[in-house]
């Protein structure tokens, strides 16, 4: 699956996007655990539930199953202006 990082999240990961191939990631909650393990500096943001996730360009707010072909985007909170 392809993970895309936006705004200050890519500053923490030092990546704009990456491919993740892991048999242990079956759903969004498992992906969050994987990301926290790989990028511990994102943990505090995950705990506060401020990060937003889009799966295949649709925002999701609860745990859903993932497939190898999914594109996951991770965003910080979005503010209007």
pTM exceeding the 0.85 threshold for the entire prediction: yes
Average pLDDT score, the chain: 92
Which pLDDT value is given to residue 80?
60
Which pLDDT value is given to residue 48?
83
Query: In the chain, which ranges are continuous DSSP H helix?
Result: 8-13, 28-38, 43-47
> What is the span of the domain harbouring residue 43?
2-72
Return the CATH number at 43.
3.10.20.30
Number of domains in the chain: 1
Spatial separation of the C-alpha atoms in residues 38 and 14, rounded to whole Å: 12
Q: Tens digits of per-residue pLDDT, 19-47?
A: 998 888 999 999 999 999 999 999 998 88
% of the chain residues with pLDDT over 90: 80
Q: Which residues contact 58 (CB under 8 A, 6 or more apart)?
A: none
Considering the domain boundaries, does residue 24 fall inside one? yes
% of the chain residues with pLDDT over 70: 96
């Amino acid at each position: 699956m392809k993970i895309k990082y936006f705004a200050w999240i890519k500053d923490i990961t030092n990546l704009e996007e990456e491919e993740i191939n892991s048999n242990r990631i079956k759903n969004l909650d498992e992906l969050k655990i994987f990301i926290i393990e790989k990028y511990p500096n994102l943990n505090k943001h995950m705990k506060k539930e401020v990060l937003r996730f889009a799966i295949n360009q649709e925002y999701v707010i609860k745990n859903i199953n993932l497939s190898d072909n999914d594109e996951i985007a991770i965003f910080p909170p979005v503010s209007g202006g």
